[in-house]
Each structure stands twice: as C-alpha cells, then as structure tokens.
Amino acid sequence: MPVAPLDVLVVAPHPDDAEIGVGGTLLKCKAAGWRVGVVDLTSGEPTPHGNLELRAAETAAATSVLQLDWRQNLGLPNRSLEPTLDARHKLAEVFRLTRPRFVFVPYWEDAHPDHVAASRLADDARFCAKLTKTSMAGEPYWPPRMLYFFSIHLRIHPRPAFVVDVSPHIDTKMEAIRCYESQFITGRSRTFPTPLDDIRDRARYWGWSIGTAFGEPFTSREEVGLKGLDGLC
C-alpha cells in the first residue's frame, strides 16, 4: 500500500549501512521536520557474531534512535545481491509507493560486491519506477535527485560533490551505530582504533574539510544546483 510520501529515502545494502553513511543527515532532516525512511535490501546475515533475530532487534533499536518514519527490508539475498530484473522491480515499487524527493544510495565503487550491486540496482530501479503499462504497484514516479553515500570497504578517497554538516547529530548517529553490537563490538578489539573510532574519525575528517566539527560526504552523477549561497559552510 502507498505510504505518506517521504522526503528522503536511503537504499542500504544491509542494515547498518544507512546509519554509517547517512545517519547524521537523516537526523538533520528529521530535525527540520522532513519525513525520512530506509529500505534495507538484505538482512545482512549471516555474519560471524549475528543472526537473523539479533540483527532484526538491532535494526529496530537503531530505527528508534534515528526516529525514522518508515523502514522496510526487501529480503534480497545477502552476500549474493545482484541487480536482477526481479530485484529492480521490487525496489522500483518502493520508489513508486514512497515517492521520495531525495534518494541516497551506495557509492558505485567498493570491495563489497553487495554494495556495488546495490548501487547499480538503485540506478536501474530509478529508471524502472517511471514506467507505465506495468504490473508494478504504485503510480509511475521518477525520483528527482539521487545522491551517493560513502559506506565503503576500499581505502579510497572519492571526491564528494558536497559535505553535509552533521555536527549537532554526531553523538546520536554513533548511538544508532552502536545498536549493531554484533557488527561493531562483539568479538572486536577494544583497543584504539576500534571500528566505531574509525567511523567517528572519518566524520571528523569530513567535518574538517568544510570547516565544521563533523560531516558526511555525498556525490552525484548529475550536477547539484544551489538556489543561493547562504547554505554554504
């Protein structure tokens, strides 16, 4: 069934990717009164210290911290995600039913095949969502702006199109990420730098790059326009 239109929708390969790459921006949007949501493509399981029930509970806890208006899991195969026609139609239906103004998807280059596949799948689903004469649920819709976030395993340094100042929200972002204890705490080294240190420090670096405390970087295949200069850091 259609839901109230979202302002922002994040396409996450696994539960925790939205929190890592876009958590601060989601909180910033919520503070501005926007409706925000996440579609997780897979369960993210199996993992060394997780299971389906635990990961679902962790996701619910993180969802509560982020105050999301909507979240859904498409149940696509973890570790073997592919941009198939069936998967494209499932994600396109999400676009048609939630009708987001902004869609955030994973950056297209990564060591994790699921992240690369998710990026391609989102691009394909964006096109597919506007089709008429189809059995897909919802009315045709073209998400007007697709942006790419960095939740990547490769130690690369993509140049972002812009960086969002998330300084007021960094502690809550980290609280949401810590909900995924099976992924970031259990069985991990407690000596510096921990995985949580790495995530926070990357946000500190991107904040430094724009003269603020913490930031989240994004890029775009299309040009990003500004209506004025007053929002620039």
CATH code, 36: 3.40.50.10320
Q: Is residue 83 part of a domain?
A: yes
In a domain, 231, yes or no: no
Q: Is there a domain that residue 226 lies in? A: no
pLDDT at residue 2, as a whole number: 64
> For residue range 19-39, what is the model confidence (pLDDT) as tens digits?
999 999 999 999 999 999 999
User: What's the pLDDT band for 62 if we cut at 50, 70, 90?
Assistant: very high
Residue 169 lies in a domain: yes
What per-residue confidence (pLDDT) applies to 91?
98
pLDDT in tens, 140-158: 999 999 999 999 999 998 9
- The number of folded domains in the chain is 1
Q: What is the pLDDT of residue 189?
A: 87
pLDDT in tens, 77-131: 999 999 999 999 999 999 999 999 999 999 999 999 999 999 999 999 999 999 9
Determine the structural domain holding residue 54 and report its residue range. 8-219
- What b/e string do you get for 179-197 counting C-beta neighbours within 10 Å, with b at 16 or more? bbbbbbeeeeeeeeeeeee
Distance CA 192, CA 125 (A): 40
Inside any domain, residue 202: yes
Give every strand in the sheet of 102-106, ordered side by side: 70-76, 36-42, 8-12, 102-106, 145-149, 215-219, 162-165
User: Is 2 within a domain?
Assistant: no
Q: Is residue 3 part of a domain?
A: no
Report if residue 34 sits inside a domain: yes
What is the distance between the alpha carbons of residues 126 and 94, in angstroms, rounded to a whole number? 10
